[in-house]
Chains A and B, each alone.
Chain A
């Protein structure tokens, strides 16, 4: 059986619905154990004190904020090439999850920044890039909301996602260029994804990253299911509402 068979909405629902409780339980277990381990059973860092523990939320959320956009990009491409409705709906479903992850990353970054740098916000390249990513998410979601016809919305948001991805990458490099111009040599002590931190911190962090990944998959599958059902409702209503057949005036002529 081809992988594309799962792009059939009913098949998709039949396969994913039983998985949802397991995914929910797995993400709760992984995220919960990562946070408890990280918060209560890791030593405090010398330089930052207990504030460093926010990385157990900050880093996985930031990771998923980017991955969600990548997933939307892939789903958009699949929609444009293969016209599988589930793909477009999955991209739509992922956007609010992605924007929430971005917000968590930004908020935890600010909360972490306050004791570390003495200010809630600095225009650090990394933080700024996430702020721009947040704006891209907002535009993408707003375009989905603005267009009534679902296929038109899927096409236009997919094009926006592709163009937006290119500009998001450009923005990231532009922001680096810009920021170095302002504060030469300032570097912000952010853990770069885990490898620079010691193992005692890394193991719970890795569990947290896997946990956020599972959480993301669960939420996206759940939301895609809702979108499929909404679309089904829409299709049924449209069919019910259509005009009664017009009586024939003449025979069919060929």
Chain B
């Protein structure tokens, strides 16, 4: 699904992680851990194709759906309108199943600005189910979710994996997945790693 070889990722032109080599097969999840600022978001943004890697290769056989810190939910629209928009973008349909899976059925007609932070997050995560894409790239998906919602979400990830999907998840809490783990502290770029400004030094 995803194969990464000798990858160096940069933030603001400076290498933050280097020498990353890993692979995620269908049905597998990879949990990225490490302290704040280690480069989890940078790595996920690079994998999502939002920024180019400084070095190395990313080989993805499946298209990726990216979920950032921000949910991309519009306050003026209802939950269902928000999700129908994403379904339209990805060429899928919003079904009651998806709403039920993320416990949003009762909230479907509420304007999103009246939702709590956890409800907003669930709306944001429900988007993943609408993408129909096999590889999920999740940046701290459980932020502001209560224990019940975390379990609900973990169930959805498991269902995704069981249907041949894969996930790369940056998280510092254990969401109870049977997953591969990658501690990014082992890959922090050293002093000599080349940055974008190398030519000036």
Which residues B9-48 have CB closer than 8 A to chain A? Answer: 12-14, 19, 21-22, 34-35, 37-38
Partner of A151, one of B13, B34, B183: B13
Contacts of B34 in A (CB 8 A): 246
Check A238/B14 contact, CB under 8 A, given A9-B199, A232-B201: yes
Are A236 and B201 in contact, CB atoms less than 8 angstroms apart? yes
Are B200 and A251 in contact, CB atoms less than 8 angstroms apart? no
Which residues A234-253 have CB closer than 8 A to chain B? Answer: 234-236, 238-239, 242-243, 245-253
In Å, the complex CA distance between A247 and B37 comes to: 14
Which residues A147-185 have CB closer than 8 A to chain B? Answer: 149-151
Interface status of B196 (Cβ within 8 A of chain A) = yes
In Å, the complex CA distance between A232 and B195 comes to: 12
B188 → A minimal CB distance (Å): 5
Check A246/B188 contact, CB under 8 A, given A149-B12, A151-B13, A238-B13: yes
Interface status of A8 (Cβ within 8 A of chain B) = yes
In Å, the complex CA distance between A250 and B35 comes to: 14
In Å, the complex CA distance between A250 and B21 comes to: 16
> Which A-B residue pairs are the 8 nearest by beta carbons?
A235-B197, A232-B200, A252-B186, A246-B185, A235-B200, A250-B183, A231-B200, A246-B188
Additional pairs, 18, CB under 8 Å, beyond known A232-B200, A238-B197, A245-B188: A8-B199, A9-B199, A85-B200, A149-B13, A151-B196, A235-B197, A236-B201, A238-B13, A238-B14, A239-B191, A243-B37, A246-B188, A248-B186, A250-B183, A250-B185, A250-B186, A254-B21, A254-B22
* 24 A–B pairs (Cβ distance < 8 Å), ordered by A: A8-B199, A9-B200, A85-B200, A149-B12, A149-B13, A150-B13, A151-B13, A228-B200, A235-B195, A235-B201, A236-B201, A238-B13, A239-B14, A242-B14, A246-B188, A247-B185, A248-B186, A249-B185, A250-B183, A250-B185, A251-B186, A252-B186, A252-B187, A253-B182
